[in-house]
Amino acid sequence: QVQLVESGGGLVQAGDSLRLSCAASGRTFNGNAMGWFRQAPGKEREFVAALAWNGGFKNYADSMKGRFTISRDNANNLVYLQMDNLRPEDTAVYYCAVHRRPWATPNSADYSYWGQGTQVTVSS
Tens of pLDDT, residue by residue over 87-106, are 999 999 999 999 999 999 99
Length of the chain: 124
User: What are 5-43's pLDDT values in tens digits?
Assistant: 999 999 999 999 999 999 999 988 889 999 999 999 999
What is the pLDDT, as a whole number, of residue 78? 94
Measure the CA–CA gap between 27 and 89, rounded to whole angstroms.
34
Task: Check whether 85 has a pLDDT greater than 90.
Answer: yes
What is the pLDDT, as a whole number, of residue 53? 85
What is the pLDDT, as a whole number, of residue 103? 92
Task: Check whether 61 has a pLDDT greater than 90.
Answer: yes
Task: Check whether 69 has a pLDDT greater than 90.
Answer: yes
Measure the CA–CA gap between 12 and 17, rounded to whole angstroms.
8
Measure the CA–CA gap between 104 and 52, rounded to whole angstroms.
5
Identity of the amino acid at 17: S
